[in-house]
Structure 1
């Protein structure tokens, strides 16, 4: 029942090993270990040994038949010495050095035990703010994020799992621009996902193109105002570049906070689907929906009776996990057992749609998603209420949103969450979470860089049954990643086997919103874009997510990072290098003959001569020379000129290059034509501005304009 790829993942990460690192446990043994350990909680509530054994066997059956799987720490640690079974944690960070480094220590303990951590850095005073105890100045949130990142790098979770963090900052924090751009370099903060905590008032200001206030969290005073639309555009631009930051609609999340008397939610787990209070943790599990399609009378339909039974058993399982888990901190133990949050979700949804013969990008699919999640939510809440009658409501029930006249007592403050199920879906042999198929065939990179080539098993089964299967066809699909436009594929098969990049982004958001309507916590969902997508495409998705009631949104443009978990294209042979990504810009050859102008600009280091040339296709090169300078200054100017020239011949807009050059400051600024020249790169930017202005107006441009603000520089950069 387990695929070869599933066994590979289990052997690398989940199965018990000896001192030499060799597995000493089978997958069946792992499921027995987990079922036995979790079922022990049943004895705490008066169940007899035979009753506990019966429940254990049902837990085992549900997992071994891949109908339900708990989150990775439960599979790894249940029945073992570590015993930490929760996946998601949020820790507080207050505006003191003691709090910051106490949280660093707590983070290390959580990562060592196999959990991921979320933080809000919003309470930290901004960079350059006063520190009265030392008469110094603060280094700001970003510098402390780097401390957490370094600590995470030093710890490998439980020997099997690298730590992951979510870093959040409110959109009204004075350092929000630095935060939005802090992962512009893909090599920075590599152990963090980052998300901007966006407020309702900010989104309203975006719509109206108004300014909004930045507030110092230490003084609670307004320190500056920014144009909301420009900040929004900067978020969009950075997300377009490499997928970060994401957006979390924090006011919407707190509106659904089940225990508001305990405090405000200020962060989520690393993948964004689990909002939590400080010191709170949550254990997750996912139902494999592909297992619940049956064919009575030859017509595919959903077996809701079987699904309901598994939902109820899964809720019992997750509630039991809370009692048998060992938590790394006393504060976490108290908060978890006070709220008893669980997060039951789904995986294999795309596979379910395929078995039902329904395309993912259709209104019928949206309807199925809504109906399935509404059913799961209803059954899960009913089971939680039954457990409350049997075992008692969660201790913090008083003052919760459920504490109303004639209200139903609940065992768990929340019951549903849609997690991404990355490796769990490999084990289950199904599609991830509620995502569409990434591709019909693709290369999956997991763990330590191991590459697994996968063909969707349902597609392969249909291809064999209908007689169009061949090894060469599978290889061609793996190369293309899609079956769209392939004459070898029957049209009805082509229509239902849609991949993430075949689907217009709007359908991703519609599906996320459909599930969010029936989920207590949040939905982990990535909106996939082709490499050719524009920033306008990303902006529209962010706005649609807000309008449709999503609690957050994450986007990813294919090929915008050097490494990505899933990829399509040529399958690499051992020792071979990967081919150039589609859409990567390549400079056109330099023409034999060019024409242009040379401008002299006075800088603080002397007169700079900037030559700007173009050919029939537009600007193509820039040369810059500083009087009689040589050595380092000359080589740096030559390098800058070469990079600018390559960018121009690759089709990068001159305006974008100017934005990168203007505003760069050196220790020796100068004055020329009534304006300040901040550095040699700034001077080159000025010369390019003059050249473009002259072409547009037909008149020489000589005035040195004031360099634009930081926000203007960043937006569209």
Structure 2
């Protein structure tokens, strides 16, 4: 590094000098910056990036590489503050701090004995406490009603133990920055597979789990041939019976169409690319499915912002991309070295294989900058070329790190060793991860997902309505003279730029969103990146609400045919509790999208003798709370509460809330104003209780009102993934997860 470059890198600009949006700074303050015991923020964004850069560069001294750690710190700092690369969230949060746990997620083994199962639960608790997510295969647990020789009793089966893991996750608070997330996998040939497929038909169970069925090549071949496949005892390895593969496949499709789960993972493909088969078999992945891991391995991830890889001529800067890939690869290998792992087994296994996952974000923004439609053959071809280049350069960087520092300890006997390849530092180099929150910090599109919206409405705490417009679209609209606040509002109401004649056709063509793109195009893009990715690709295939089960089946088969390692789908409006976010404005009166919404009036409405309504059971820290909401012919009229436990302060306070809300409604206050005043109020448990993550009795009342306002028949009118439980902003299903682009909330983090 030249003296001039080093001097520039080590300058410490003010926070205002960083290319961070207002929203980026808000997310950093809420989730990443260091605080004291009283919650006071102790650093700004500049301090955070400096803290991370210095901590990761310190590995050079620990490894005795002879490199200048201070100079490298400057390079890391420049790379992050220019938003060319960002590591996964735990690294930003914890590097250089006491916790020091820098990995996003882990896979733990689950054996078939009570001792092994509860040891895994203990290890899960330690991981979640440190801020990590966990993946498990429950396939080794004997099925329900199978014999237990030691007690002469019968097994309760894997699903019963999944519920214990789920309850443990619900109980653990993750240091106030990240909550627990789990992936549960069961092999398709397990005797309890049908119960597993149906497990989340009730959305009140396994709320802390994503679940996926592990499909085998034999199963998929039987599906294609409309044949049968073996169901195998995990205890004895014997085939117990045969089942019709297509029937099981159709059940998976049916539940995925219903509520997005289970996903599917092609187990044999994970092991086809297992670089260390002599160490073990891959049975599970991290919570979003992009990182197949052996038991006790961790994922250490980071993403390159492709939107920053365009030069002044508007062309791809391959040399710059190469430099960032090389530097980011060194950064991630250093992360493994300075990481403070939550349990010794993870420390040992992670260092033995040294897997890293360098991925990308800003893909949709890059395509816009290059004037290439996302759903075009040109985009798919570029995606494949791009990922091939990144993986080749990352592999070369790993070879050079191997020469400098030594190969990963399990290299002997690995696929690299058997092929006679040069020693490499890392068993894997690339992964396409969901980048929900770090892409918000970088002010770019998430992972390889298309845009979630061009313009959307964002509500803030002072009851103002803010219109968020994609910066590239706003820039083009102003340069070409068709920008107006009214048009931006129309786009937000319409949910897409398609069909709006005021926008030039060539602009509409490149600003396609996730719901403008066919599911088949989603899969083609995923497959293009998967072809040259060491690990896997996290992506959500979005369907419109009117999609059929056959549409889902077609996409699953296409994903298998195209070489994907797994698929996550989401059909718009298929889950309960969706409320208006992106798009549709309130319909005309005769459409009645929110028929019970009160209209402002000049005086309090009188109560009629009879009213209609509904009662909702909400789980709170004080016990079950029953919220009854009644309407008159003008809309919401009154609210009553009943505590499951009679009497006490909680019951009286809930009664007071009900009386005040009723008075407000009868006086003309709109329901959403009452919701915004109460939602998110915290009492006992910041993580929340139950499926709706109730944080207080007031929060329970607010969420009951939301449930009442948006009945199932109205769900088809909504777009995207619903409302953020923290800020009320729009939530999008992407990368196998739910992300709020307004505040950075992530369901998987």
Query: How much has 1:223 moved relative to structure 2?
Result: 2.3
Quote the residue 2:543 is aligned against. Answer: 529
CA RMSD of aligned residues (A): 2.2
Aligned pair 1:215/2:229, yes or no? no
Bigger Rg over Cα: 1
Quote the residue 1:364 is aligned against. Answer: 378
- Between the aligned partners of 2:579 and 2:321, the Cα distance in structure 1 is 30
8 Å contact from structure 1 (residues 5, 452) kept in 2: no
Deviations 1:149-193 (A, max 9, x none): 010011122221110000000000010011001011222111100
Which among 554, 568, 585 is matched to residue 582 of structure 2?
568
- Between the aligned partners of 2:200 and 2:585, the Cα distance in structure 1 is 29
Quote the residue 1:282 is aligned against. Answer: 299
Which among 103, 116, 119 is matched to residue 86 of structure 1?
103
Which among 285, 299, 304 is matched to residue 318 of structure 2?
304
User: Is 396-405 or 269-278 further displaced after alignment?
Assistant: 396-405
Question: Judging changes above 3 Å, is the alpha-carbon distance between structure 1 residues 485 and 94 closer, same or farther for their aligned structure 2 residues?
Answer: same
Aligned pair 1:41/2:55, yes or no? no
Quote the residue 1:326 is aligned against. Answer: 340
Question: Judging changes above 3 Å, is the alpha-carbon distance between structure 1 residues 193 and 255 closer, same or farther for their aligned structure 2 residues?
Answer: same
User: 3-state SS of the aligned residue for 2:212?
Assistant: strand
Quote the residue 1:32 is aligned against. Answer: 50
Quote the residue 1:101 is aligned against. Answer: 118
Quote the residue 1:185 is aligned against. Answer: 202
- Between the aligned partners of 2:183 and 2:159, the Cα distance in structure 1 is 13
- Between the aligned partners of 2:465 and 2:301, the Cα distance in structure 1 is 27
- Between the aligned partners of 2:62 and 2:380, the Cα distance in structure 1 is 42
- Between the aligned partners of 1:78 and 1:416, the Cα distance in structure 2 is 22
Q: How do 1:219-258 and structure 2 match up within 5 A?
A: 219-258=236-275
Aligned pair 1:409/2:423, yes or no? yes
8 Å contact from structure 2 (residues 496, 583) kept in 1: no
Query: How much has 1:571 moved relative to structure 2?
Result: 7.5
Question: Judging changes above 3 Å, is the alpha-carbon distance between structure 1 residues 272 and 392 closer, same or farther for their aligned structure 2 residues?
Answer: same
8 Å contact from structure 1 (residues 290, 348) kept in 2: yes
Question: Judging changes above 3 Å, is the alpha-carbon distance between structure 1 residues 104 and 330 closer, same or farther for their aligned structure 2 residues?
Answer: same
User: Is 450-459 or 412-421 further displaced after alignment?
Assistant: 450-459
Q: How do 1:319-398 and structure 2 match up within 5 A?
A: 319-398=333-412
User: Is 179-188 or 53-62 further displaced after alignment?
Assistant: 179-188
- Between the aligned partners of 1:325 and 1:234, the Cα distance in structure 2 is 42
- Between the aligned partners of 2:408 and 2:399, the Cα distance in structure 1 is 10
Aligned pair 1:430/2:430, yes or no? no
Quote the residue 1:271 is aligned against. Answer: 288
Deviations 1:112-145 (A, max 9, x none): 1111100000000101111122222111111111
User: 3-state SS of the aligned residue for 1:372?
Assistant: helix
Which among 218, 230, 244 is matched to residue 201 of structure 1?
218
- Between the aligned partners of 2:580 and 2:279, the Cα distance in structure 1 is 40
Which among 431, 442, 452 is matched to residue 456 of structure 2?
442
- Between the aligned partners of 1:516 and 1:535, the Cα distance in structure 2 is 25
Which among 506, 513, 533 is matched to residue 519 of structure 1?
533
Question: Judging changes above 3 Å, is the alpha-carbon distance between structure 1 residues 396 and 227 closer, same or farther for their aligned structure 2 residues?
Answer: same
8 Å contact from structure 1 (residues 438, 566) kept in 2: no
- Between the aligned partners of 2:327 and 2:593, the Cα distance in structure 1 is 47
Aligned pair 1:508/2:522, yes or no? yes
Quote the residue 2:615 is aligned against. Answer: none
Aligned pair 1:462/2:476, yes or no? yes
Deviations 1:243-297 (A, max 9, x none): 101100000110110000011000000000000000111200000000011242x
Question: Judging changes above 3 Å, is the alpha-carbon distance between structure 1 residues 565 and 434 closer, same or farther for their aligned structure 2 residues?
Answer: farther
- Between the aligned partners of 1:401 and 1:303, the Cα distance in structure 2 is 33
TM-score (norm 1): 0.77
Quote the residue 2:143 is aligned against. Answer: 126
Query: How much has 1:564 moved relative to structure 2?
Result: 6.6
Quote the residue 1:165 is aligned against. Answer: 182
User: 3-state SS of the aligned residue for 2:282?
Assistant: coil
- Between the aligned partners of 1:570 and 1:524, the Cα distance in structure 2 is 28
User: 3-state SS of the aligned residue for 2:415?
Assistant: coil
Quote the residue 1:553 is aligned against. Answer: 567
Query: How much has 1:563 moved relative to structure 2?
Result: 5.0
Quote the residue 1:635 is aligned against. Answer: none
Aligned pair 1:17/2:48, yes or no? no
User: 3-state SS of the aligned residue for 1:367?
Assistant: helix
Query: How much has 1:102 moved relative to structure 2?
Result: 0.4
Question: Judging changes above 3 Å, is the alpha-carbon distance between structure 1 residues 362 and 144 closer, same or farther for their aligned structure 2 residues?
Answer: same
Deviations 1:584-630 (A, max 9, x none): xxxxxxxxxxxxxxxxxxxxxxxxxxxxxxxxxxxxxxxxxxxxxxx
Query: How much has 1:537 moved relative to structure 2?
Result: 0.5
Aligned pair 1:472/2:489, yes or no? no
Q: Unaligned regions of 5+ residues in structure 2, if any?
A: 1-18, 587-591, 596-711, 714-749
Query: How much has 1:476 moved relative to structure 2?
Result: 1.7
8 Å contact from structure 1 (residues 319, 342) kept in 2: yes
Deviations 1:617-644 (A, max 9, x none): xxxxxxxxxxxxxxxxxxxxxxxxxxxx
Deviations 1:396-445 (A, max 9, x none): 00000000364111000000000010111111100000001112123689
User: 3-state SS of the aligned residue for 2:224?
Assistant: helix
User: 3-state SS of the aligned residue for 1:187?
Assistant: coil
In the alignment of these two chains, the number of paired residues is 572
Query: How much has 1:225 moved relative to structure 2?
Result: 2.1
